[in-house]
């Protein structure tokens, strides 16, 4: 079975205000936050500022986190918002998420991003997968774990992980081609 990236007991303790748990969570989350910021920010100069601001927000607002297992998504949303805020400081105008995603200047860096309908379809396609395929896809494509890390986390062989990943992606392609 899939083990969450962030220990739920640690997140719960941090949410409850345990200072040691909060500091441990900050240390564990920092590499993910930096990776998210490198992908989301327009310039590498913004990355350190966004990481710092996101860590500060995590420290201050971890108590407001409702779903413990959604910490990664919550952090990604904060990073994206902070990158947009940094971009708006530089340009002097407010930049909305939709504007940034569909700005032709960002297209080379971001690639063509799917519209809301496609995002919903992809989400439904992932949800339609059997659990053993879904967890492998999420670990590989969302959590960006390596095949070896997934195998260790799930107690599988490397070949089993690769097979499940290939079958899951084939099912996703089939679902999305309908």
Q: For residue range 6-44, what is the model confidence (pLDDT) as tens digits?
A: 778 888 888 888 999 889 989 988 988 888 888 888 777
Query: Same structural domain for residues 92 and 170?
Result: no
Query: Same structural domain for residues 118 and 56?
Result: no
* For the chain, percent of residues with pLDDT exceeding 70: 76
Residue 17 is given by DSSP the state T
Q: Does pLDDT of 58 surpass 90?
A: no
Assign 125 a pLDDT band (cuts: 50, 70, 90): confident
Query: Same structural domain for residues 136 and 101?
Result: no
What is the DSSP track for 56-80?
A: HHHHHHGGG---GGGHHHHHHHHHH
Query: Same structural domain for residues 8 and 48?
Result: yes
Average pLDDT, the chain: 77
Query: Same structural domain for residues 163 and 77?
Result: no
Could you tell me what percentage of the chain is helix, strand and coil, using 3-state DSSP and rounding each to the nearest 5? 80, 0, 20
- What CA–CA distance (Å, rounded) separates 10 from 20? 9
State which of 79, 112, 145 marks the end of a domain.
112
pTM for this prediction: 0.50
Q: Does pLDDT of 61 surpass 60?
A: yes
What's the domain range around 25? 1-112
Question: What's the number of domains the chain is made of?
Answer: 2
State which of 112, 143, 166 marks the end of a domain.
112
- CATH code of the domain containing 1: 1.10.1740.10
- pLDDT tens digits, 84-112: 877 776 655 544 444 444 444 444 333 44
Query: Same structural domain for residues 160 and 140?
Result: yes
What is the DSSP track for 106-161?
A: HHHHH--PPPHHHHHHHHHHHHHS-HHHHHHHIIIIIS---HHHHHHHHT--HHHH
Query: Same structural domain for residues 10 and 73?
Result: yes
Q: What is the pLDDT of residue 67?
A: 64
- What CA–CA distance (Å, rounded) separates 54 from 29? 10
- What CA–CA distance (Å, rounded) separates 26 from 62? 10
Query: Same structural domain for residues 101 and 49?
Result: yes
- CATH code of the domain containing 120: 1.10.10.10
The phi and psi torsions of 92 (rounded to 5 degrees) equal 80, 5
Query: Same structural domain for residues 7 and 93?
Result: yes
Query: Same structural domain for residues 88 and 105?
Result: yes
Among the ranges given (84-98, 114-128, 130-144, 153-167), the one the predictor scored with the smallest mean pLDDT: 84-98
Q: What is the pLDDT of residue 159?
A: 94
Assign 4 a pLDDT band (cuts: 50, 70, 90): low
Q: Does pLDDT of 56 surpass 70?
A: yes
Q: What is the pLDDT of residue 90?
A: 62
Query: Same structural domain for residues 106 and 25?
Result: yes
State which of 82, 112, 142 marks the end of a domain.
112
Residue 1 is given by DSSP the state -
């Amino acid at each position: 079975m899939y083990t969450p990236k962030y220990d739920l007991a640690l997140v719960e303790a941090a949410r409850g205000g345990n200072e040691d748990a909060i500091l441990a969570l900050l240390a564990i989350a920092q590499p993910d936050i930096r990776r998210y910021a490198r992908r989301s920010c327009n310039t590498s100069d913004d990355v350190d500022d966004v990481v710092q601001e996101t860590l500060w927000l995590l420290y201050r607002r971890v108590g407001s986190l409702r779903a413990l297992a959604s910490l990664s998504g919550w952090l990604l949303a904060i990073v994206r918002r902070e990158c947009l805020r940094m971009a708006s400081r530089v340009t002097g105008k407010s930049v909305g998420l939709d504007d940034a995603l569909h700005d032709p200047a960002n297209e080379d860096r971001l690639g063509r991003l799917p519209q809301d309908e496609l995002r919903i379809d992809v989400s439904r396609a992932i949800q339609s997968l059997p659990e053993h395929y879904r967890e492998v896809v999420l670990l590989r494509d969302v959590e960006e774990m390596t095949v070896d890390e997934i195998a260790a986390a799930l107690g599988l062989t490397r070949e089993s992980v690769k097979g499940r990943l290939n079958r899951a992606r084939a099912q996703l392609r089939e679902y999305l081609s309908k």
